[in-house]
Amino acid sequence: MRRLRNVKIVATLGPASSDYETIRALHEAGADVFRLNMSHGSHDEIRERHKIIRQVEKDLDSPIAILADLQGPKLRVGVFANEAEELEEGAAFRLDLDPAAGDINRVCLPHPEIFAALEQGARLLVNDGKIRLTVQDCGQDFANCKVDVGGTISNRKGVNVPDVVLPLAALSAKDRDDLEFVCQLGVDWLALSFVQRAKDVFEARALADGRAAILSKIEKPAAVEAFEDILDASDGIMVARGDLGVELPVSAVPPIQKRLVRRCRGAAKPVIVATQMLESMIESPMPTRAEVSDVATAIYEGTDAIMLSAESAAGAYPIEAVQTMNKVAIEVEADPTYTQIIAASRTAKGSTVADGIVAAAREIAEKTDIKAICCFTQSGTTASLTARERPGVPIIAMTSQRGTARRLCLSWGCNCVMTPELQRFKGAVVNAARAARAGGFASESDQIVVTAGVPFNVPGTTNILRVAPCDERLIYSTDPE
């Protein structure tokens, strides 16, 4: 299914989007990737949604990526005798390991790992930062705090600890169970929450054992600090702006977003910009102008994908939200300023033959009358490198691997087409020409660029670039075997 834009759309499934008709309509409206949020829904519900996505994929003959988003450790206070208390600014408040019900003076924080890492002056943010505490003194089982920003604190509210790296693994026992479950189902991407260091990514990768690509969510200050190592260890990145905006000043999030998107593009790894992109569309059929500008900004930055969360999972207008994103993307990418920004932000990366091939393919395509770049890829690396170039013509990613086609649904500009395993270059060129014509990218009188590797079906061997006609008669009469 050809899209009229390059940036990809990720739609989260939930109660508002769990039946065949809605999921199919979401894909037809523009959703390229479906996110299964493991924080919500039983395994039976997740299994059913996965089954429906694969049925839609089969019925429409259109590769679809499935992203399973692991919950990560959840840090929460205990319960209160009165269910809630009102904390006043300047008051003292104690967090400890005592399981007794809390009151106006204290509450249980059943996480000894937090106390082990705390130090005087550290901040604790409760209920998405609505309540802010500063540690005055602490020990292995307590933290005496001052209330900097007061408010209502109630049962099991979440706690963020932005100033220290917590001695917690990114994978809880629930996450490990969920990871194995979704890998057996056959998801394409795993989103890893609570990443603080590259070690967290290595642990998830070992458990996935090649069954899914690993996407790290950047939602903690520690992850921003260790981003280079995390990026190297990951297959992709999600800029999770919601938690970042809790643990960091909200004014710091936009420049961080820009830097991370730029770094991911340079590394040829897909990046998603996520959280509250069209938040008002949970209840309204129309977004705010600020939200549209936010979506547009992410696209101008060159992100691979933009994501809907509650808008498509629990909102009243899930299909309209996807349609809105799709329209904004088409409008932005048609703007000459977009082309200028993307070209200006292009930096030369890598020194391999494959790097040279994809850079040359983009250069030839943009300076001559070329309609598409067709890249044959087994692992997806060549297509990802081509996407890094952000060419001004469509990318047709040709692969015999269904898993590769699905994973590339997250990469900028990649139109994924399944092809049989090929042994000769002439056959590859013919298949590329057919795909370009069938997808409406080119006519018989047009030309395309074809990149491939010889020998075929060996990952990492991209070494050929061919400007080829879409007329098969010319291919057979001019191309070598």
Grouping H, G, I as helix, E, B as strand and the rest as coil, residue 255 is helix
Active-site residue identified among 54, 74, 76, 211: 76
Q: What is the DSSP letter of 281?
A: G
Active-site residue identified among 217, 241, 406, 437: 217
94 is catalytic: no
Grouping H, G, I as helix, E, B as strand and the rest as coil, residue 43 is helix
Three-state SS sequence of 135-178: EEEEECCEEEEEEEECEEEECCCEEECCCCCCCCCCCCHHHHHH
Neighbour count for residue 136 (Cβ, 10 Å):
13
Using CB atoms within 10 Å of the CB of residue 328, give its burial: 0 to 12 exposed, 13 to 18 middle, 19+ buried.
Answer: buried
Distances 223 to 198, 232, 255 between C-alpha atoms, Å: 9, 13, 15
> How many CA atoms lie less than 13 Å away from 353 in the CB half-sphere?
10
Active-site residue identified among 12, 258, 269, 275: 275
In 200-312 the beta strands, taken as DSSP E runs, fall at 213-218, 236-240, 271-274, 305-308
| Ramachandran assignment for 69, one of left (phi > 0), alpha (psi -120 to 50 degrees), beta (any other) | beta
CB neighbour list of residue 356: distance below 8 Å, 6 or more residues apart? none
47 is catalytic: no
- 358 and 389 Cβ atoms separated by less than 8 Å: yes
Active-site residue identified among 5, 35, 220, 371: 35
146 is catalytic: no
- 452 and 376 Cβ atoms separated by less than 8 Å: yes
Distances 176 to 45, 180, 213 between C-alpha atoms, Å: 18, 6, 16
76 is catalytic: yes
The interaxial angle of helices 43-60 and 173-185, nearest 10 deg, is 30
DSSP states of 411-455: STTEEEEE-----SHHHHHHHHHHHHHHTTS--TT-EEEEEEESS
Catalytic residues: 35, 76, 217, 275
